[in-house]
A and B are shown apart, each in its own frame.
Chain A
Amino acid sequence: MTIFIPTPLRPYAAGQASVEVKAATIADALASLTGSHPELRKHLYTEEGKLRAFVNLYLNDEDIRYLPAKEATSVSATDTLSIIPSIAGGC
């Protein structure tokens, strides 16, 4: 499957905008991504190993938080995973 890397994280993924991984589930895909680009880990996860609160993960057009199996959801080669830091603010 293809994982899309957002602009801020590309320096930690060898400058790539997308990374191809072979994976059976979303969790597999993330493990494969951080396995080949270990620097990404601290940008995606807290020290306790939880996904940072401002990092959104979308399997195609679905927020993985709302998928019944969440990160255990199975994926196919044509699926895409988007890593999307949140955008908000105010005045």
Chain B
Amino acid sequence: MSSLRLSRSIYDAMRAHGEQTYPHECCGALLGRFVPAEAACNEFGGWIVEANVRAGNTRTDSAHNRYQIAPIELVKIEREARSRGLDIAGFYHSHPDHPAQWSPTDFEEAHWLGCCYVITAVANGKATVTNSFFLAGLREEEKRFEQQTIELTGPGTELPGG
């Protein structure tokens, strides 16, 4: 299993974002660096996330079960990433009163191959489980989600129980 590494503060920030937008879905981007297998000390390599960026959910028509980040916001997020010497490593969103598993809609709408899609379940306004799925495959027609371990770097690396 590949892994996604991030700090406790980014992990907490994503989860807090989901609690704040409840009962609507939150969404945002993760910026980081891709580390090749050798440096990551596993056979997969993986992303080390160094920053998260909140985005607005443009699906105001159905915000309780849909999210979308405006492409112009992504253009700006990418610019921000470049200025920090980082890449877009992935995205996060919340599932209000729904498990932290990818849905058929998430899969259909996922096009950032090689990036991570982090989902936090928010039950009754409280963040519960957070999972990360790596969008594997070399082309759109072969894509698949693979669950990853989330490794918290820095102090306080214990994941809350789920």
Q: Which residues of A contact B (CB under 8 A)?
A: 4, 6-8, 11, 17, 42-43, 52, 54-56, 58, 61, 63, 82, 84-91
**Do B67 and A88 touch (CB < 8 A)?**
yes
**Do B75 and A87 touch (CB < 8 A)?**
no
Q: Which residues of B contact A (CB under 8 A)?
A: 25, 27, 29, 59, 62, 65-69, 71-72, 74-75, 78, 82, 87-89, 91, 93, 95-96, 98, 102-103, 105-106, 109-115, 117, 138-140
**Do A91 and B95 touch (CB < 8 A)?**
yes
B90: nearest chain-A partner, CB-CB: A7
A91 proximity list for chain B (CB < 8 A) = 25, 65, 95-96, 98, 103, 105-106
Q: How far is the CA of A4 from the CA of B75 in the complex (A)?
A: 10
On whether A87 and B105 interact (CB within 8 A), knowing A6-B88, A43-B140, the answer reads: no
- A57 shortest CB reach to chain B, Å: 9
Q: How far is the CA of A52 from the CA of B143 in the complex (A)?
A: 15
On whether A61 and B88 interact (CB within 8 A), knowing A88-B59, A91-B25, the answer reads: no
**Do A88 and B68 touch (CB < 8 A)?**
yes
B111 proximity list for chain A (CB < 8 A) = 8, 54-55, 85-87
B57: nearest chain-A partner, CB-CB: A88
B87 proximity list for chain A (CB < 8 A) = 7, 17
**Do B71 and A86 touch (CB < 8 A)?**
yes
Q: How far is the CA of A37 from the CA of B135 in the complex (A)?
A: 23
A7 proximity list for chain B (CB < 8 A) = 87-89, 112, 114-115
B117 proximity list for chain A (CB < 8 A) = 89
Q: How far is the CA of A56 from the CA of B68 in the complex (A)?
A: 13
B68: nearest chain-A partner, CB-CB: A88
**Do B74 and A84 touch (CB < 8 A)?**
yes
Excluding A55-B111, A85-B111, A87-B111, 19 further A-B contacts by CB distance (< 8 Å) are: A6-B112, A7-B88, A17-B82, A17-B87, A43-B139, A43-B140, A52-B140, A58-B71, A82-B78, A84-B71, A86-B68, A87-B27, A87-B74, A88-B59, A88-B105, A89-B67, A90-B62, A91-B65, A91-B96
